[in-house]
Structure 1
Amino acid sequence: MANPTPHHSDKSPEGDDVYGGLNMLNGMLHDLDERGLVLSLSAFSEDVLGTLIGAFMVPSDASKQLLEGFNAPLGTFSARAKAAYAFGLLTKNQFEDLERLRKIRNEFAHTWRPISLTDPKIAALVKAMNHSRLGTKFPETLREKVQSSMSTLLIEVRAVAHQIEEKKTRVPITGTHLIAGFSGDFDAQMADAREQMHDICQDRDASDGEKRSFHQAVLVRFAERLHFIEVAAPPSRRREVAALKKELAGRVAG
């Protein structure tokens, strides 16, 4: 056969066989007609893309809602392929082949009439697919081309998802919060910091309930502001910042 079939026993963190579903799919494809072949490959591709994107995104309910449920923004084959490519999880060739498969799927899925891979529009899409990078036998038929090309692509995509899961190389969180600094030279910044810290402590101690919690949170964040003074401070004067940070820690605890 022209299509490679993985036979790995690697386990994902959840204990599932990484390539088990793909092995099962490849075992089924031989018994399916062309419509069944195309629809099964497409459905499996959609699932694998969901696994890939899910592994890459920050684990959260928001991420799940993008992928799962009624009208999920990334719930379709098309949306998942585009998102995976935009996230840098697919190569250009992989994305283009998935798009070709999706278009072939639409041709088969949207008609009740007899249809074949040899139909000119579909045949052109199949011929444009990239050949399997793992196969050593030239696919003699359009069916073999679809099966070998897509089987290899799905192995590659599942492998990337597994690597992300294993190495925890999911998308880094690049969102940030603004932190107010202090103006002036070192002496002016230190004087301003001492005065502000004193005022915040007074406001906290004079408050209760939610207002006290607010001022306490402002005081806790004050350490981040002092960090900027410390980084820019002359080496000979960094002890002054360290002393102020120690005083702040005591006031936070108090």
Structure 2
Amino acid sequence: MSEAGKCPFNHGAATGGATTNTHWWPNALNLDILHQHDTKTNPMDKDFDYRKEVKKLDFEALKKDMSALMTDSQSWWPADWGHYGGLMIRLSWHAAGTYRIADGRGGAGAGDQRFAPLNSWPDNASLDKARRLLWPIKKKYGKRISWADLLTLAGTIAYETMGLKTFGFGFGRADTWHPAKDIYWGAEKEWLAPSDERYDSVDDAKTMENPLAAVQMGLIYVNPEGVNGKSDPQKTADHIRVTFERMAMNDEET
């Protein structure tokens, strides 16, 4: 059957050959059966509505606190050149950068970066420090600001404190409270396995397995060193175009 004639939905990817968190952490105690479909995994009241709660937030006070954070360098993780802007932009970008158009999964809409496997991807190294820097602010404002909004807002505030005029910010991303088990990140059994495992032919970027967008397990998008770590500008450009197209970006946006 031609590609054009196939069903656009991917059957079995999230439940069949996917690599699960129990593969990466085989010694972890599996308590899934105790809280599957259980509302107790959500710490909020059953009637909690984040989009209503966030309207009670003092937005200007929050932005003031986050602006101060950018230059409040900590001894345990000093800010580069006295400003956490670069780290926070990377935090926000990597929170959003998991989104792919094929199945609409991933992205910054639920604060998934706090959980496995995303919090342990090689590409997300040291972003735990960025989230730790945000913790006092999260603790101060509590349920009126979600982690999902906070992780995304951090990048916006970083840009603004470095002089960029932004279009503003839209609040309303409600948090998830456990790792997403319905997202297929790939079938590889090791971080940064060669790209060949997710392509029919790694020489043809368009043959990447759907619904994936990133070129390797544990990366947000492409390998900055080139396809499989080999410098080939033309091949790398082809992979960049396809990957970012699958992340809903055109050439200009990329």
- Interval containing the TM-score (normalised by the shorter chain): under 0.3
Q: TM-score, normalization: structure 1? A: 0.21
**Higher-helix-fraction structure:** 1
- Under a length normalisation based on structure 2, what TM-score does the superposition of the two structures give? 0.21
